[in-house]
Amino acid sequence: MPASLSITIAGAGIAGCAAAIALAQAGHAVQVIERAARWEFASSGIFLYANGLESLRDLGVLPAILRAGFAVPEGRNAYFDQSGMPLTVTHYPSRDAGRIPAILGIRRAELHRILSMRMQELGVPVTLDASIALLAQRGGRVSLTLSDGRALETDLLVIAEGLRSTTRALAGFDVAPRYSGFTVWRSVHARPAALTDKIMQMGRGKRFGIMPISDDRLYTFGTVPGPKPAHIPRADWPATMAGQFAEFDGPARAFLDDLGPRSEVLFTAIEEVALPLPWHRGRVVVIGDAAHAATPFMGQGGAAAMADGVALARHLSRAAPEPALAAFGAERQPICAFVQEASRRVGELGALETDADIAARNARMRGGGAQAQVDTFYARLTEFERRALSPDFT
Ligand SMILES: Cc1cc2nc3c(=O)[nH]c(=O)nc-3n(C[C@H](O)[C@H](O)[C@H](O)COP(=O)(O)OP(=O)(O)OC[C@H]3O[C@@H](n4cnc5c(N)ncnc54)[C@H](O)[C@@H]3O)c2cc1C
């Protein structure tokens, strides 16, 4: 059995928190360095499919997540066109004989609150307002100098700093975020009691989604293709969002009409990162968005970040650090590349512009194509996971 290690994690986002919990649960001495001065989280919501919820079960927080979030009954996703005409309904798969719901929406701040409480329970210290200024490796140890001047020695450094990671380059990785060609608008609203489905409206070039995130809240997310826009002042976000989706009627309309100066709105130009293997250099490994940020069309980035943490702890329990890091990358990179590719295709399908393309897509969706796409994606994901868990995976 490999020995307990001292492990430093840079970044306390979803990937960093999940890795901290999984590694502390496995008996390692873990500490986290977070650049933000205050540990507060841009909110709006996030949806987590059954595979992500399974990781949260492994991290010991699933009951708290189920209490705080909203599990969509029967994993229903109702599709409409831009005018609000119904197109089709699909169902996502649940896991563990239905004990793990197919899809759950939750406020991001709640997800982080629950992960941070679990870290506290496990005694994981988090240093805020600090980042890594210098990094050197010698004799199986990583020496770090922090931005506050403090020096640290650690057996293993996990870089979980998101897509704009700075430590990644310090460790010798050469990768940069790439604009995906899409922007996303998100907003939070009161949830009408009857709105319990995940809803997707397929427009001309644009998609607009609605997702319950608690007993009384939902969030919306609308994607727009196009070149990276110039700076849009934050005060203008609600009105700009309403304008971007002005042509949408049906389920979206009430929430677009609800947008006003005090609305909780977020605007993001979506970027991707695709770090080629190996994901480690000696005793330093990159996880989460810093290695594999995807477009959000599959809603799988958070799940992938959590799966990284769980997989990293599993590999370190089986082998010495460097072979374990190599096996970790070999397991996770093909899955993350598959998710990125699937997400890109869904984005392109949602960005169709001509009447003929839109009519053909909608006919395919109505004819069972939308459910087939869900089934194929999750069957493939399960196949990847099964292979990774088999004893002969190297
Ligand atoms: C619009 C949008 C919608 C999305 N919707 C979903 C969804 O519904 N479901 C889903 O599963 N995923 C979704 N995702 C993806 C998901 O949000 C990300 O994949 C996930 O947050 C990645 O987590 P992370 O911890 O790797 O990175 P991050 O969340 O970016 O966290 C990185 C952390 O590192 C810190 N940090 C940065 N630099 C340093 C440094 N130098 N030193 C120390 N700390 C540092 C940051 O402050 C931050 O706390 C969405 C993404 C976007 C953009």
Domains of the chain, earliest start first:
6-177+272-389 (3.50.50.60)
Ligand 1 pocket, residue 209 CB under 6 Å: no
Per-residue pLDDT of the chain (394 residues; tens, 9 = 90+): 678 999 999 999 999 999 999 999 999 999 999 999 987 766 789 999 999 999 999 999 999 999 999 999 999 999 999 999 999 999 999 999 999 999 999 999 999 999 999 999 999 999 999 999 999 999 999 999 999 999 999 999 999 999 999 999 999 999 999 999 999 999 999 999 999 999 999 999 999 999 999 999 999 999 999 999 889 999 999 999 999 999 999 999 999 999 999 999 999 999 999 999 999 999 999 999 999 999 999 999 999 999 999 999 999 999 999 999 999 999 999 999 999 999 999 888 878 889 999 999 999 999 999 999 999 999 999 999 998 888 777 6
Q: What is the pLDDT of residue 44?
A: 87
Residues 120-155: b if buried by 16+ CB within 10 A, e if exposed: eebebebbeebbbeebeeeeeebebebeeeeebebb
Ligand 1 pocket, residue 35 CB under 6 Å: yes
What is the Cα–Cα distance from 172 to 159, expressed in whole angstroms? 12
Residue showing tokens 């205050």: 38
Nearest ligand 1 atom to alpha carbon 131 = 42
Contacts of 269 (CB under 8 A, 6+ apart): 179, 182, 183, 228, 229
Ligand 1 pocket, residue 53 CB under 6 Å: no
Contacts of 198 (CB under 8 A, 6+ apart): 47, 72, 76, 77, 78, 103, 105, 209, 210, 211, 212
What is the Cα–Cα distance from 97 to 126, expressed in whole angstroms? 36
What is the Cα–Cα distance from 128 to 11, expressed in whole angstroms? 10
Contacts of 314 (CB under 8 A, 6+ apart): none
Instruction: Give yes or no for a contact between 244 and 222, defined as CB atoms under 8 angstroms apart.
Output: yes
Q: What is the pLDDT of residue 349?
A: 81
Could you tell me the distance, in angstroms and rounded to a whole number, from the CA of residue 159 to the centre of ligand 1?
A: 12
Ligand 1 pocket, residue 299 CB under 6 Å: yes
Could you tell me the distance, in angstroms and rounded to a whole number, from the CA of residue 315 to the centre of ligand 1?
A: 23
CA-nearest residue, atom 3 of ligand 1? 296
Q: What is the pLDDT of residue 394?
A: 62
Tell me the DSSP string of 203-227. -SS-EEEEEE-SSSEEEEEEEEESS
Best residue among 8, 9, 33, 34 to mutate for probing ligand 1's pocket (most ligand atoms within 8 Å of CB) is: 34
Residues 71-98: b if buried by 16+ CB within 10 A, e if exposed: bbeebbbbbbbbeeeebbebebbbbeee
